[in-house]
């Protein structure tokens, strides 16, 4: 599967224990996490293709390890205008890991 997203579809951020931040985009996957090196360079860090893929990474299926907890994810900031947000929040809540989830709403309209 080729991952596709639009730069205007910034769904939020992932914040790690060491303070490092990555940007989450909505695309043809549940969530696509990108490192923004500068205005001209980026690298794809990780993604969750769908709910089942996210559940696997969170250790919620078949006794798998929660790799996200090992990565040191401490917080998510998510824009509630995106349809994936309720699914993402629900699955992280089921994982019972120490994480802060901040929800905000930005409809993308200039004021």
Q: Over the chain, what is the mean pLDDT?
A: 91
pLDDT, tens digit, 9 for 90 and up, residues 51-95: 999 999 999 988 788 998 889 999 999 999 999 999 999 999 999
Cα–chain-centroid distance for residue 85? Answer: 9
CB of 104 closer than 8 Å to CB of 82: no
Query: Which pTM value belongs to this model?
Result: 0.89
Q: What percentage of the chain exceeds 70 in pLDDT?
A: 95
**How many Cβ atoms sit within 10 Å of the Cβ of residue 37?**
9
Q: Kindly tell me if the per-residue pLDDT of 14 is higher than 60.
A: yes
Residue that has been written with the tokens 């019972």 in this structure:
96
Rounded to 5 degrees, φ, ψ at 68 are -65, -35
């Amino acid at each position: 599967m080729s991952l596709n997203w639009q730069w205007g579809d910034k769904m939020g951020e992932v914040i790690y224990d060491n303070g490092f931040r990555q940007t989450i985009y909505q695309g043809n996957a549940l969530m696509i996490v990108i490192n923004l090196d500068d205005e001209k360079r980026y690298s794809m860090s990780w993604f969750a293709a769908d709910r089942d893929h996210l559940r696997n990474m969170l250790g919620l299926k078949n006794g798998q390890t929660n790799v996200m907890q090992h990565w040191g994810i401490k917080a998510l900031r998510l824009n509630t205008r995106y349809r994936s947000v309720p699914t993402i929040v629900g699955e992280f809540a089921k994982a019972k890991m120490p994480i802060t989830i901040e929800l905000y709403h930005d409809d993308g309209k200039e004021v």
